[in-house]
């Protein structure tokens, strides 16, 4: 989940002295510093996630990308009659700063795991088609349903680009990979199978062939019971990040025991803090105590989360025993 960001004054300060969000992602010494900020502030954290964004892939495919204050990311919308091509040389050149960041971060870490990431193809395609986020990605779906052939081509391009991007991240020092399928929850079953599960499993297969020991996690937000579909083949993710609404008891039954569970805690409980926050952490830790489980949130941190609450939660988790 997003760890850096606007709830940290040291992040806001760096941001105000930068030339926008994309500039921070593409300037390795800044991105390195931001990646390390949560680790410096909360030394008990076990992992650092690369500071970048899932929309670096469309940027590296040549789309115009801007992050607009209060609106979020805005891209030039893609027409499925002429989807962008993947040209390896310019893609690798444009993503090179991200690799420099990973190398720099790695040289500063003291035992924490370095997490690399990408958006899963459907989620990234949805932003590319719609040009920005939205409540349910309705405009993206309309374009995709109307032109399934064009959509298949776009998803193939994104799958190839994602494989190349993640292999480069691992070579640059990423020790674990997370694939964010933040818009898994808006598709009906056959489209979920074709647009979420198939490309994700292809990415996992290709990475496993070259780096069999790097754990790959998925975050299929809102996928409800369809999350089971990722685990029906030999090739499967090593772990799954639970979103805030996932029924933990059901997930414990549905997900094979060798798969690592992660996350689940509603970030808004960190905003509330106090007893409600600790009761929920206790509930999640107790339910998952007989499984491989990594404590994490069910979605990203929001700017209004008080730092004291984060400190209290980390202290509680580190002191917790079944």
Residues that bind ligand CP3 (CB under 6 A): 2-6, 15, 21, 49, 51-55, 67, 72-73, 117, 133, 180, 182, 221, 300
The DSSP letter of residue 233 is S
CA distance 305 to 302: 6
Reference 121, options 202, 229, 241, 176; nearest CA is 202
Q: Does 12 qualify as catalytic in the annotation?
A: no
Output the six-digit token pair for 220: 């299929």
Q: Does 283 qualify as catalytic in the annotation?
A: no
Q: Which of 59, 127, 227, 293 is catalytic?
A: 127
Nearer to ligand CP3, 53 or 238 (CB): 53
Nearer to ligand CP3, 80 or 179 (CB): 179
Q: Which of 7, 53, 226, 230 is catalytic?
A: 53
The DSSP letter of residue 147 is -
Nearer to ligand CP3, 114 or 261 (CB): 114
Q: Does 145 qualify as catalytic in the annotation?
A: no
Least CB distance to ligand CP3 at residue 53 (A): 5
CA distance 57 to 155: 12
CA distance 240 to 237: 7
Least CB distance to ligand CP3 at residue 15 (A): 5
The H-or-E segment that residue 195 falls in is none
Q: Does 238 qualify as catalytic in the annotation?
A: no
Assign 274 to helix, strand or coil: helix
Q: Does 15 qualify as catalytic in the annotation?
A: yes
Least CB distance to ligand CP3 at residue 294 (A): 15
Nearer to ligand CP3, 6 or 41 (CB): 6
Cβ–Cβ < 8 Å for 301, 5: yes
Catalytically active residues are 2, 6, 15, 53, 127
């Amino acid at each position: 989940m997003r760890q850096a960001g606007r709830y940290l004054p040291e992040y806001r300060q760096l941001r105000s002295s930068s030339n926008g969000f994309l500039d921070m992602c593409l300037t390795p010494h800044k991105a390195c510093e931001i990646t390390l900020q949560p680790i410096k502030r909360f030394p008990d954290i076990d992992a650092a996630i690369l500071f970048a964004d899932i929309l670096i892939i469309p940027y590296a495919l040549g789309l115009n990308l801007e992050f607009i204050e209060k609106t979020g990311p805005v891209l030039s919308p893609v027409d499925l009659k002429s989807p962008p091509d993947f040209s390896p040389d310019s893609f690798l050149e444009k993503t090179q700063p991200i690799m420099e960041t990973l190398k720099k971060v790695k040289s500063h870490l003291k035992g924490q795991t370095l997490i690399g990431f990408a958006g899963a193809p459907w989620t990234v395609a949805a932003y590319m088609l719609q040009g920005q986020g939205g409540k349910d990605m309705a405009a993206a779906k309309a374009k995709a349903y109307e032109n399934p052939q064009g959509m298949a081509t776009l998803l193939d391009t994104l799958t190839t680009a994602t494989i190349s991007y993640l292999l480069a991240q691992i070579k640059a020092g990423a020790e674990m990979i997370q694939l964010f399928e933040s818009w898994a929850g808006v598709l009906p079953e056959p489209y979920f199978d074709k647009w979420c599960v198939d490309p994700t499993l292809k990415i996992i297969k290709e990475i496993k062939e070259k780096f069999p020991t790097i754990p790959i996690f998925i975050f299929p937000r809102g996928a409800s019971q369809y999350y089971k579909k990722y685990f029906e083949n030999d090739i499967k993710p090593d772990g799954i990040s639970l979103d805030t609404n996932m029924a933990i008891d059901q997930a414990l039954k549905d997900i094979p025991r060798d798969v690592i569970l992660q996350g689940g805690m509603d970030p808004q409980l960190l905003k509330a803090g106090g007893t409600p926050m600790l009761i929920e952490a206790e509930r999640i830790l107790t339910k998952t105590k007989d499984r491989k489980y990594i404590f994490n949130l069910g979605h990203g941190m929001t700017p209004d989360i008080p730092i004291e609450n984060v400190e209290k939660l980390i202290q509680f988790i580190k002191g917790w025993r079944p």
